[in-house]
Amino acid sequence: MSTMNLIAGLADKTRSLHLLVLGDLILDRYTWGDAERVSPEAPVLVLRANQCEVRLGGAASVASLLRGLGANVVLAGVLGDDADGRVLRRLLEESGIDTRFVLTDSHRPTTTKERFLGLAAHRHPQQILRVDHELRQPIPGELEERLAAATVSAAEFRVVLVSDYAKGVCTPRLLAALIAAAHRKKLPLIVDPARMPDYGLYRGVQIIVPNRTEAELATGMQIHSPADALRAGRQLCDEYGLAAALVKLDSDGIAVVDRRAGIEQHVPTRPRAVYDVTGAGDMVLAIVGLCQAAGWGLVESAELANVAAGLEVEKLGVAPVSWGEIRAELQRGKSTSKLVTLDEMAKLAAAYRHDGKAVVFTNGCFDLLHVGHVTYLQEAAQLGDALIVAINSDASVQRLKGPQRPIIHDADRAGLLAALACVDHVLIFDDDTPHRLLERIRPDVLVKGGTYTPDEVVGAEVVRAYGGRIYVTQKVEATSTSAIMDTIRERSSRTDQVARRPLAGRVRFVLHRNRHITQRAACVPHARTQELSES
């Protein structure tokens, strides 16, 4: 079965899956602003705040990501009896997460991470400070017993996920009860461990999912390569009686050690534009949990987790990733290029729209790519989330421009455009107009560069008919393919005239033979002429 069919099957099955997530519940606060200057009071940045937001973090983040993918999630953990706790509980309920096992402790604060993000020179926001409000002591015995009794007795779950941030919820006693119950019920128990040197409290869990730093601390090994990570995973399995270990290696992917299947394999991932690593580990835990509940192997689970975590790091903070985004990413990853067919592009555009993303479309010959093209494509990319560039085929260009065009074949033109970071997809079409493409793709914005008015843009009536808009970019003066070709022809003509004209005067060939200099006059073609000075 193809990967896309597997994903479709998992997406459909997710709605019937029930998962338990236990761990430390965290409220993430974000304050965005402009970091425009340094304070006159101290050598620190001044952040002019303009937006605040609250999101689910920790185990609540894992539950939220699962819920965003359609799973039925019950969350277990502890909140403080405070304003932040009430905000976090409200967010959970709004997300459709079952909070029957979320308890309240009036003697501890709700764990809160407050992040301040500054935007400078209109660039992407960067985190400049984080403030944590927390209490790390273990939860009281009474709450520990209530959580153990509630989670162990629940029978509807297909998998149990533990998200341990070492804030006091995942006590040895609670985990021991959970591990024993999972063994009795033959439930997959998957743990994202805390950063600690001893994993004794996780002994007997089925799967552990540490990151590189956590695995180094737990094994005493330095992990510089996937091979090192596989050795670390093997050591963790041997030392703590684990069935499997997945070591997260950020941009290097995931190292999978599965003792049940006898597999040790590195699962690479492709490089991403990393805006914020927050939530990437939570996404890996969520996806691996879903895949295990659906009966997938660990290698396939890691491959899908890589894709989803890669999408997550391109977002700010912990933000849901949809099945549509995952499918679109897998579709893009089928080829090392961005070249797609019309059928593929129509499906990708539908996935973008399903996820609330704006699709931008432009088309043209793009013969002799120049700075004017690049400037207008960069401007077009700012108008939405995905930029599609459709280029006329060679036959189409000949019909439009004459038999001397194109200069560059369509496959090469497509390759040049695909190399631009601002371009997401490239397709070649054979029609004289883009009407059929616009009707299939239905972009939100149709863009054209040059001196057109919006009404003059070919295909404008198609896009406006379904509510799309037309945009004409700024023209870069003195740049056009025709002007470049005229310049080439003019210079070529001058060179030909010089080559055909006889050389006036005498040309001296200097030959060194027996220290004598022989001179003779000649009139020879320019390309074969050499004039040497007397020594």
Residue (of 133, 137, 81) closest to 112 by Cα position: 133
- pLDDT tens digits for 205-255? 999 999 999 999 999 999 999 999 999 999 999 999 999 999 999 888 999
Split at pLDDT 50, 70, 90, the class of 329 is confident
| 367 annotated active-site | no
* pLDDT at residue 330, rounded to an integer: 73
Q: Can you tell me the mean pLDDT for 71-95?
A: 96
- The CA distance from 326 to 517, in Å, is 79
Nearest-angstrom CA–CA distance, 268 and 419: 22
pLDDT at 480: 57
| pLDDT, position 218 | 96
Sorted by where each starts, the structural domains of the chain and their CATH numbers stand as 3-26+59-112+139-187+269-332 (3.40.1190.20), 342-481 (3.40.50.620), 502-535 (no CATH)
- Listed in sequence order, the residues at least 6 apart from 41 whose beta carbon sits closer than 8 Å to its beta carbon are none
Q: Is the pLDDT of residue 530 over 50?
A: no
Rounded to an integer, the average pLDDT of 426-431 is 92
Placement of tokens 């808009």 in the chain = 469
Asked if 481 and 367 touch (Cβ cutoff 8 Å), the reply is yes
DSSP state of 357: P
Q: Please state, in angstroms and rounded to a whole number, the distance separating the CA atoms of residues 306 and 248.
A: 9
Contact 215, 247 (CB under 8 A): yes
> pLDDT higher for 408 or 502?
408
Q: Tell which phi-psi region holds residue 353, choosing left (phi > 0), alpha (psi between -120 and 50) or beta.
A: alpha
Convert 13-25 to b/e letters by CB count within 10 Å (16 or more is b): ebeebbbbbbbbb
Ranges of H-type helices in 69-128: 83-94
- Reference 252, options 336, 310, 293; nearest CA is 310
Q: For all residues of the chain together, what is the average pLDDT?
A: 83
- For the stretch 484-525, pLDDT in tens is 656 666 666 655 554 555 544 433 333 344 334 333 333 333
What confidence tens digit (pLDDT) does each residue in 263-300 have?
A: 999 998 765 544 445 668 899 999 999 999 988 999 99
Residues in the chain: 535
pLDDT exceeds 50 at position 391: yes
Dihedral angle computed from the Cα positions of residues 30, 34, 35 and 41, in that order, rounded to the nearest 10 degrees: -90
Q: Beta strand pairing status for 18-23 and 159-163?
A: parallel
pLDDT at 4: 59
Of 152-166, 324-338, 432-446, give the range with the top mean pLDDT.
432-446
pLDDT at 338: 81
Catalytic annotation, pick one of 192, 282, 394, 444: 282
